[in-house]
Structure 1
Protein backbone atom coordinates (compact mmCIF):
# COMPACT_ATOMS: atom_id res chain seq x y z
CA UNK A 1 0.00 0.00 0.00
CA UNK A 2 1.75 3.16 -1.20
CA UNK A 3 -1.01 5.66 -0.42
CA UNK A 4 -3.19 6.20 2.62
CA UNK A 5 -6.69 4.77 2.05
CA UNK A 6 -9.65 6.85 3.21
CA UNK A 7 -13.00 5.16 3.73
CA UNK A 8 -15.56 7.92 3.37
CA UNK A 9 -19.18 8.79 2.66
CA UNK A 10 -19.68 11.90 0.59
CA UNK A 11 -22.36 13.63 2.68
CA UNK A 12 -21.19 12.62 6.17
CA UNK A 13 -19.97 15.77 7.96
CA UNK A 14 -17.26 13.84 9.80
CA UNK A 15 -15.97 12.45 6.51
CA UNK A 16 -16.21 15.87 4.85
CA UNK A 17 -13.95 17.47 7.40
CA UNK A 18 -11.42 14.66 7.07
CA UNK A 19 -11.36 15.13 3.28
CA UNK A 20 -11.03 18.90 3.70
CA UNK A 21 -7.91 18.53 5.82
CA UNK A 22 -6.32 15.91 3.58
CA UNK A 23 -6.86 17.96 0.43
CA UNK A 24 -5.79 21.22 2.07
CA UNK A 25 -2.59 19.53 3.27
CA UNK A 26 -2.07 18.15 -0.24
CA UNK A 27 -1.88 14.59 1.05
CA UNK A 28 -2.54 12.13 -1.78
CA UNK A 29 -4.82 9.28 -0.81
CA UNK A 30 -6.99 6.56 -2.28
CA UNK A 31 -10.69 7.20 -1.72
CA UNK A 32 -13.07 4.36 -0.93
CA UNK A 33 -16.64 5.62 -1.01
CA UNK A 34 -18.66 3.48 1.39
CA UNK A 35 -22.29 2.45 1.02
CA UNK A 36 -23.46 2.73 4.62
CA UNK A 37 -25.96 -0.10 4.18
CA UNK A 38 -23.28 -2.41 2.79
CA UNK A 39 -20.06 -1.61 4.61
CA UNK A 40 -16.99 -3.25 3.10
CA UNK A 41 -15.43 -6.11 5.02
CA UNK A 42 -11.94 -4.62 4.73
CA UNK A 43 -13.09 -1.42 6.46
CA UNK A 44 -14.79 -3.36 9.24
CA UNK A 45 -11.64 -5.43 9.73
CA UNK A 46 -9.66 -2.24 10.23
CA UNK A 47 -12.29 -0.46 12.30
CA UNK A 48 -15.07 -2.58 13.83
CA UNK A 49 -16.98 0.56 14.89
CA UNK A 50 -18.23 0.64 11.29
CA UNK A 51 -18.47 4.39 10.86
CA UNK A 52 -16.65 6.73 8.50
CA UNK A 53 -14.15 8.21 8.12
CA UNK A 54 -11.37 5.67 8.56
CA UNK A 55 -7.85 6.37 7.33
CA UNK A 56 -5.51 3.43 6.80
CA UNK A 57 -1.92 4.66 6.66
CA UNK A 58 0.84 2.95 4.68
CA UNK A 59 2.69 2.11 7.92
CA UNK A 60 -0.33 0.11 9.09
CA UNK A 61 -1.77 2.65 11.52
CA UNK A 62 -5.52 3.20 11.45
CA UNK A 63 -7.07 6.57 12.30
CA UNK A 64 -10.73 6.08 13.20
CA UNK A 65 -11.76 9.58 14.27
CA UNK A 66 -12.20 12.54 11.94
CA UNK A 67 -10.34 14.96 14.21
CA UNK A 68 -7.37 12.58 14.44
CA UNK A 69 -7.31 12.49 10.63
CA UNK A 70 -7.43 16.29 10.46
CA UNK A 71 -4.63 16.66 12.99
CA UNK A 72 -2.50 14.06 11.21
CA UNK A 73 -2.99 15.80 7.86
CA UNK A 74 -2.12 19.23 9.25
CA UNK A 75 1.06 17.85 10.79
CA UNK A 76 2.11 16.86 7.29
CA UNK A 77 1.44 20.32 5.89
CA UNK A 78 -0.45 23.39 7.09
CA UNK A 79 0.29 26.11 4.51
CA UNK A 80 -2.18 28.70 5.78
CA UNK A 81 -1.67 28.00 9.48
CA UNK A 82 -5.04 26.52 10.46
CA UNK A 83 -3.51 25.19 13.68
CA UNK A 84 -1.89 28.48 14.60
CA UNK A 85 -4.68 30.87 13.65
CA UNK A 86 -6.03 30.90 17.21
CA UNK A 87 -5.16 29.51 20.64
CA UNK A 88 -5.49 25.73 20.76
CA UNK A 89 -7.78 25.95 23.78
CA UNK A 90 -10.25 28.17 21.91
CA UNK A 91 -10.19 25.91 18.84
CA UNK A 92 -10.78 22.84 20.98
CA UNK A 93 -13.64 24.45 22.90
CA UNK A 94 -15.56 25.31 19.73
CA UNK A 95 -15.03 21.87 18.24
CA UNK A 96 -16.06 20.18 21.48
CA UNK A 97 -19.27 22.23 21.63
CA UNK A 98 -20.00 21.31 18.02
CA UNK A 99 -19.35 17.60 18.42
CA UNK A 100 -20.77 17.00 21.87
CA UNK A 101 -23.62 19.51 22.16
CA UNK A 102 -24.65 20.79 18.72
CA UNK A 103 -24.47 17.52 16.77
CA UNK A 104 -27.11 15.75 18.95
CA UNK A 105 -29.47 18.70 18.45
CA UNK A 106 -28.74 18.72 14.72
CA UNK A 107 -29.67 15.04 14.52
CA UNK A 108 -32.91 15.65 16.38
CA UNK A 109 -33.74 18.60 14.15
CA UNK A 110 -32.99 16.62 11.00
CA UNK A 111 -34.86 13.51 12.14
CA UNK A 112 -37.55 15.15 14.27
CA UNK A 113 -40.01 12.35 13.59
CA UNK A 114 -37.74 10.04 15.60
CA UNK A 115 -37.64 12.47 18.53
CA UNK A 116 -41.25 13.52 19.14
CA UNK A 117 -40.56 15.03 22.56
CA UNK A 118 -40.13 18.31 20.63
CA UNK A 119 -41.28 19.57 17.25
CA UNK A 120 -38.75 20.17 14.50
CA UNK A 121 -39.04 23.88 15.23
CA UNK A 122 -38.42 23.18 18.90
CA UNK A 123 -35.20 21.31 18.17
CA UNK A 124 -34.16 24.09 15.80
CA UNK A 125 -34.70 26.72 18.47
CA UNK A 126 -32.55 24.78 20.92
CA UNK A 127 -29.78 24.30 18.37
CA UNK A 128 -29.86 27.97 17.43
CA UNK A 129 -29.56 29.07 21.06
CA UNK A 130 -26.83 26.54 21.83
CA UNK A 131 -24.56 26.97 18.80
CA UNK A 132 -25.76 29.21 16.00
CA UNK A 133 -26.42 32.35 18.04
CA UNK A 134 -22.99 32.20 19.75
CA UNK A 135 -21.38 31.67 16.32
CA UNK A 136 -23.27 34.68 14.95
CA UNK A 137 -22.03 36.81 17.86
CA UNK A 138 -18.48 35.56 17.38
CA UNK A 139 -18.57 36.40 13.67
CA UNK A 140 -19.47 40.04 14.33
CA UNK A 141 -15.83 40.74 15.07
CA UNK A 142 -14.08 38.94 12.22
CA UNK A 143 -14.96 36.90 9.13
CA UNK A 144 -14.03 33.56 10.69
CA UNK A 145 -14.79 32.10 14.08
CA UNK A 146 -11.60 32.96 15.90
CA UNK A 147 -9.60 35.24 13.64
CA UNK A 148 -9.42 37.12 10.37
CA UNK A 149 -8.26 33.88 8.77
CA UNK A 150 -9.43 30.30 8.77
CA UNK A 151 -8.61 28.10 11.73
CA UNK A 152 -9.10 24.41 12.34
CA UNK A 153 -12.31 25.29 14.20
CA UNK A 154 -13.93 26.73 11.08
CA UNK A 155 -13.18 23.72 8.93
CA UNK A 156 -14.09 21.17 11.58
CA UNK A 157 -17.49 22.80 12.17
CA UNK A 158 -18.61 24.00 8.74
CA UNK A 159 -19.84 20.58 7.48
CA UNK A 160 -22.26 20.40 10.41
CA UNK A 161 -23.64 23.91 9.93
CA UNK A 162 -24.03 23.09 6.24
CA UNK A 163 -26.08 20.03 7.14
CA UNK A 164 -28.20 22.11 9.52
CA UNK A 165 -28.88 24.70 6.81
CA UNK A 166 -30.01 22.01 4.39
CA UNK A 167 -32.78 20.71 6.65
CA UNK A 168 -34.97 23.75 5.89
CA UNK A 169 -33.28 25.96 3.29
CA UNK A 170 -36.17 28.43 3.19
CA UNK A 171 -35.92 29.10 6.92
CA UNK A 172 -32.14 29.28 6.75
CA UNK A 173 -32.18 31.80 3.94
CA UNK A 174 -34.66 34.08 5.69
CA UNK A 175 -33.61 33.89 9.35
CA UNK A 176 -32.89 37.51 10.23
CA UNK A 177 -30.76 36.64 13.27
CA UNK A 178 -28.00 34.85 11.34
CA UNK A 179 -26.61 37.07 8.54
CA UNK A 180 -22.95 36.73 9.50
CA UNK A 181 -23.26 32.98 9.93
CA UNK A 182 -24.86 32.67 6.49
CA UNK A 183 -22.00 34.65 4.97
CA UNK A 184 -19.45 32.47 6.77
CA UNK A 185 -21.14 29.31 5.52
CA UNK A 186 -21.39 30.60 1.96
CA UNK A 187 -17.75 31.67 1.96
CA UNK A 188 -16.43 28.34 3.17
CA UNK A 189 -18.73 26.02 1.21
CA UNK A 190 -18.24 28.09 -1.93
CA UNK A 191 -14.46 27.83 -1.75
CA UNK A 192 -12.55 25.74 -4.31
CA UNK A 193 -11.34 23.52 -1.48
CA UNK A 194 -14.83 22.65 -0.26
CA UNK A 195 -16.19 22.25 -3.75
CA UNK A 196 -13.37 19.86 -4.63
CA UNK A 197 -14.02 17.47 -1.76
CA UNK A 198 -17.74 17.33 -2.55
CA UNK A 199 -17.34 16.11 -6.12
CA UNK A 200 -19.23 12.84 -6.55
CA UNK A 201 -16.78 9.95 -6.87
Structure 2
Protein backbone atom coordinates (compact mmCIF):
# COMPACT_ATOMS: atom_id res chain seq x y z
CA UNK A 1 0.00 0.00 0.00
CA UNK A 2 2.90 2.39 0.66
CA UNK A 3 4.03 2.12 -2.97
CA UNK A 4 0.49 2.79 -4.13
CA UNK A 5 0.06 5.81 -1.89
CA UNK A 6 3.17 7.53 -3.22
CA UNK A 7 1.48 7.76 -6.63
CA UNK A 8 -1.10 10.30 -5.41
CA UNK A 9 -1.12 13.14 -2.89
CA UNK A 10 -2.46 12.35 0.57
CA UNK A 11 -4.93 14.86 2.01
CA UNK A 12 -5.65 15.05 5.72
CA UNK A 13 -9.05 16.67 6.11
CA UNK A 14 -11.95 17.31 8.45
CA UNK A 15 -15.32 17.41 6.75
CA UNK A 16 -16.80 20.48 8.48
CA UNK A 17 -13.70 22.66 8.56
CA UNK A 18 -14.12 25.54 6.07
CA UNK A 19 -10.38 25.59 5.34
CA UNK A 20 -10.40 21.88 4.51
CA UNK A 21 -13.60 22.40 2.54
CA UNK A 22 -12.02 25.03 0.29
CA UNK A 23 -9.06 22.73 -0.34
CA UNK A 24 -11.33 19.81 -1.28
CA UNK A 25 -13.36 22.10 -3.54
CA UNK A 26 -10.23 23.19 -5.40
CA UNK A 27 -9.08 19.61 -5.89
CA UNK A 28 -12.47 18.41 -7.05
CA UNK A 29 -13.11 21.39 -9.36
CA UNK A 30 -9.96 20.65 -11.33
CA UNK A 31 -10.55 16.90 -11.24
CA UNK A 32 -7.51 15.82 -9.23
CA UNK A 33 -7.52 12.53 -7.33
CA UNK A 34 -5.98 12.34 -3.86
CA UNK A 35 -6.00 9.82 -1.06
CA UNK A 36 -8.18 11.29 1.67
CA UNK A 37 -7.70 10.74 5.37
CA UNK A 38 -10.55 12.10 7.47
CA UNK A 39 -9.32 12.94 10.96
CA UNK A 40 -10.77 13.58 14.38
CA UNK A 41 -9.62 16.93 15.71
CA UNK A 42 -9.44 15.51 19.24
CA UNK A 43 -7.34 12.54 18.10
CA UNK A 44 -5.01 13.71 15.34
CA UNK A 45 -3.04 10.90 13.69
CA UNK A 46 0.71 10.77 14.22
CA UNK A 47 1.55 10.63 10.47
CA UNK A 48 -0.18 14.00 10.03
CA UNK A 49 1.57 15.56 13.01
CA UNK A 50 4.89 14.21 11.77
CA UNK A 51 4.65 16.20 8.54
CA UNK A 52 2.83 19.23 10.01
CA UNK A 53 3.37 19.66 13.77
CA UNK A 54 0.97 22.62 13.99
CA UNK A 55 -1.83 20.04 13.74
CA UNK A 56 -4.38 21.95 11.67
CA UNK A 57 -6.21 20.79 8.57
CA UNK A 58 -5.97 20.64 5.67
CA UNK A 59 -2.56 19.08 5.18
CA UNK A 60 -1.48 17.55 1.89
CA UNK A 61 1.57 15.39 1.31
CA UNK A 62 2.65 15.38 -2.34
CA UNK A 63 4.31 12.34 -3.93
CA UNK A 64 7.54 14.36 -4.06
CA UNK A 65 7.51 14.65 -0.27
CA UNK A 66 6.56 18.32 -0.30
CA UNK A 67 4.01 19.27 2.36
CA UNK A 68 1.25 21.84 1.85
CA UNK A 69 -0.36 22.71 5.18
CA UNK A 70 -2.21 25.90 4.27
CA UNK A 71 -5.54 25.77 2.45
CA UNK A 72 -4.57 28.61 0.13
CA UNK A 73 -1.39 26.79 -0.86
CA UNK A 74 -3.44 23.71 -1.71
CA UNK A 75 -5.84 25.81 -3.81
CA UNK A 76 -2.92 27.40 -5.63
CA UNK A 77 -1.30 24.00 -6.22
CA UNK A 78 -4.58 22.61 -7.60
CA UNK A 79 -4.88 25.58 -9.95
CA UNK A 80 -1.32 25.03 -11.16
CA UNK A 81 -2.17 21.43 -12.07
CA UNK A 82 -5.24 22.39 -14.09
CA UNK A 83 -4.36 22.20 -17.76
CA UNK A 84 -7.94 23.04 -18.68
CA UNK A 85 -7.85 26.23 -16.57
CA UNK A 86 -10.94 25.19 -14.61
CA UNK A 87 -9.52 27.15 -11.71
CA UNK A 88 -7.44 30.20 -12.53
CA UNK A 89 -4.32 31.21 -10.66
CA UNK A 90 -5.20 33.71 -7.93
CA UNK A 91 -4.56 37.19 -9.30
CA UNK A 92 -4.45 40.33 -7.18
CA UNK A 93 -8.20 40.91 -6.91
CA UNK A 94 -8.83 37.31 -5.84
CA UNK A 95 -6.01 37.51 -3.29
CA UNK A 96 -7.46 40.71 -1.85
CA UNK A 97 -10.86 39.09 -1.40
CA UNK A 98 -9.27 36.06 0.25
CA UNK A 99 -7.34 38.34 2.61
CA UNK A 100 -10.55 40.15 3.59
CA UNK A 101 -12.23 36.83 4.26
CA UNK A 102 -9.39 35.17 6.13
CA UNK A 103 -8.38 38.11 8.31
CA UNK A 104 -11.38 40.36 8.93
CA UNK A 105 -14.49 38.29 8.23
CA UNK A 106 -13.18 35.13 9.90
CA UNK A 107 -12.44 37.01 13.13
CA UNK A 108 -15.95 38.44 13.34
CA UNK A 109 -17.47 35.13 12.26
CA UNK A 110 -15.77 33.29 15.11
CA UNK A 111 -17.09 35.79 17.66
CA UNK A 112 -20.57 35.56 16.16
CA UNK A 113 -20.51 31.75 16.25
CA UNK A 114 -19.16 31.57 19.78
CA UNK A 115 -20.64 34.73 21.24
CA UNK A 116 -20.87 33.11 24.68
CA UNK A 117 -17.06 33.07 24.75
CA UNK A 118 -16.97 36.81 24.11
CA UNK A 119 -19.48 38.20 26.64
CA UNK A 120 -18.31 41.78 26.11
CA UNK A 121 -20.98 42.10 23.41
CA UNK A 122 -24.12 40.23 22.31
CA UNK A 123 -24.08 38.02 19.21
CA UNK A 124 -25.87 40.73 17.24
CA UNK A 125 -22.87 43.02 17.69
CA UNK A 126 -20.46 40.49 16.21
CA UNK A 127 -22.91 39.69 13.44
CA UNK A 128 -23.07 43.36 12.50
CA UNK A 129 -19.28 43.49 12.31
CA UNK A 130 -19.25 40.44 10.05
CA UNK A 131 -21.90 42.05 7.88
CA UNK A 132 -19.41 44.69 6.75
CA UNK A 133 -17.78 42.00 4.63
CA UNK A 134 -21.12 40.52 3.62
CA UNK A 135 -22.22 43.91 2.31
CA UNK A 136 -19.03 44.19 0.27
CA UNK A 137 -19.77 40.76 -1.13
CA UNK A 138 -23.33 41.78 -1.98
CA UNK A 139 -22.14 44.91 -3.79
CA UNK A 140 -19.55 42.97 -5.79
CA UNK A 141 -22.13 40.36 -6.79
CA UNK A 142 -24.55 43.11 -7.79
CA UNK A 143 -21.90 44.39 -10.20
CA UNK A 144 -21.50 40.88 -11.53
CA UNK A 145 -25.25 40.54 -12.01
CA UNK A 146 -25.33 43.72 -14.09
CA UNK A 147 -22.82 42.04 -16.38
CA UNK A 148 -24.97 38.94 -16.63
CA UNK A 149 -23.01 36.77 -14.20
CA UNK A 150 -24.59 35.55 -10.96
CA UNK A 151 -22.58 32.48 -9.93
CA UNK A 152 -19.07 33.94 -9.77
CA UNK A 153 -17.56 36.71 -7.69
CA UNK A 154 -14.95 38.02 -10.15
CA UNK A 155 -15.55 38.04 -13.88
CA UNK A 156 -17.21 35.29 -15.87
CA UNK A 157 -15.11 32.37 -14.62
CA UNK A 158 -14.52 30.53 -11.38
CA UNK A 159 -11.71 31.89 -9.20
CA UNK A 160 -10.12 30.85 -5.96
CA UNK A 161 -12.04 33.70 -4.31
CA UNK A 162 -15.34 31.87 -4.92
CA UNK A 163 -14.36 28.53 -3.45
CA UNK A 164 -12.18 30.15 -0.81
CA UNK A 165 -14.93 32.38 0.59
CA UNK A 166 -18.05 30.25 0.10
CA UNK A 167 -17.41 27.82 3.02
CA UNK A 168 -17.09 30.71 5.48
CA UNK A 169 -20.26 32.46 4.29
CA UNK A 170 -22.03 29.11 4.59
CA UNK A 171 -20.79 28.91 8.17
CA UNK A 172 -22.03 32.44 8.89
CA UNK A 173 -25.49 31.55 7.60
CA UNK A 174 -25.70 28.44 9.74
CA UNK A 175 -25.36 30.44 12.97
CA UNK A 176 -28.85 31.88 12.54
CA UNK A 177 -30.39 30.75 9.28
CA UNK A 178 -33.86 32.30 9.86
CA UNK A 179 -32.23 35.70 10.39
CA UNK A 180 -30.19 35.35 7.20
CA UNK A 181 -33.23 34.29 5.18
CA UNK A 182 -34.97 37.50 6.25
CA UNK A 183 -31.94 39.71 5.52
CA UNK A 184 -31.62 41.68 2.30
CA UNK A 185 -28.68 39.92 0.71
CA UNK A 186 -30.31 38.93 -2.56
CA UNK A 187 -27.16 38.42 -4.59
CA UNK A 188 -25.24 36.70 -1.80
CA UNK A 189 -28.13 34.27 -1.37
CA UNK A 190 -28.18 33.52 -5.09
CA UNK A 191 -24.41 32.97 -5.17
CA UNK A 192 -24.52 30.86 -2.01
CA UNK A 193 -27.39 28.71 -3.26
CA UNK A 194 -25.60 28.10 -6.55
CA UNK A 195 -22.71 26.54 -4.67
CA UNK A 196 -24.84 24.74 -2.10
CA UNK A 197 -26.80 23.07 -4.90
CA UNK A 198 -23.79 22.18 -7.01
CA UNK A 199 -22.65 18.63 -7.68
CA UNK A 200 -19.10 19.53 -6.70
CA UNK A 201 -20.21 20.64 -3.23
CA UNK A 202 -22.20 17.43 -2.75
CA UNK A 203 -19.10 15.43 -3.65
CA UNK A 204 -16.74 17.28 -1.32
CA UNK A 205 -19.18 16.86 1.56
CA UNK A 206 -19.24 13.08 1.26
CA UNK A 207 -18.80 11.47 4.67
CA UNK A 208 -15.75 9.37 5.47
CA UNK A 209 -15.00 7.39 8.60
CA UNK A 210 -12.03 8.65 10.61
CA UNK A 211 -8.84 7.27 9.10
CA UNK A 212 -6.85 4.53 10.79
CA UNK A 213 -3.36 3.43 9.82
CA UNK A 214 -4.68 -0.02 8.94
CA UNK A 215 -7.26 1.33 6.45
CA UNK A 216 -7.06 0.67 2.75
CA UNK A 217 -6.33 3.93 0.87
CA UNK A 218 -9.50 5.81 -0.11
CA UNK A 219 -9.45 7.94 -3.24
CA UNK A 220 -11.31 11.26 -3.02
Shorter-chain TM-score above 0.5? yes
| TM-score (norm: length of structure 2) | 0.86
**Mapping of residues 67-86 of structure 1, within 5 Å:** 67-77=72-82, 79-83=84-88
| TM-score (norm: length of structure 1) | 0.94
**Distance between the aligned counterparts of 1:147 and 1:77, measured in 2?**
19
The offset of 1:194, in angstroms, is 1.1
Alpha carbons 2:29, 2:86 under 8 Å: kept? no
Question: Match for 2:95 among 73, 92, 95?
Answer: 92
- Alignment partner of 1:161 is 2:169: yes
**Mapping of residues 15-164 of structure 1, within 5 Å:** 15-77=20-82, 79-83=84-88, 88-129=91-132, 131-142=133-144, 143=150, 144-164=152-172
> Deviation per CA, 1:106-151, whole angstroms, max 9, x where unpaired?
110000001111111110001002x100100111121222113322
SS of residue paired to 1:55: strand
Higher relative contact order (CA 8 A, sep 6+): 2
**Distance between the aligned counterparts of 1:194 and 1:145, measured in 2?**
17
- Alignment partner of 1:195 is 2:202: yes
> Deviation per CA, 1:24-62, whole angstroms, max 9, x where unpaired?
121111110010000001100110000000000111110
Most deviating of 91-100 and 136-145:
136-145
**Distance between the aligned counterparts of 1:11 and 1:92, measured in 2?**
23
> Deviation per CA, 1:66-91, whole angstroms, max 9, x where unpaired?
0000110111115354326xx81111
Seen in structure 2, the aligned counterparts of structure 1 residues 17 and 78 have a Cα distance that, compared at 3 Å, is farther
**Distance between the aligned counterparts of 1:65 and 1:53, measured in 2?**
7
SS of residue paired to 1:146: coil
Q: Which aligned runs of 4 or more in structure 1 are off by greater than 4 angstroms?
A: none
Matched residue, 1:8: 13
Size of the aligned set, in residue pairs, is 197
Seen in structure 2, the aligned counterparts of structure 1 residues 171 and 79 have a Cα distance that, compared at 3 Å, is farther
Unaligned runs of 5+ in 1: none
Unaligned runs of 5+ in 2: 1-5, 145-149, 209-220
SS of residue paired to 1:31: strand
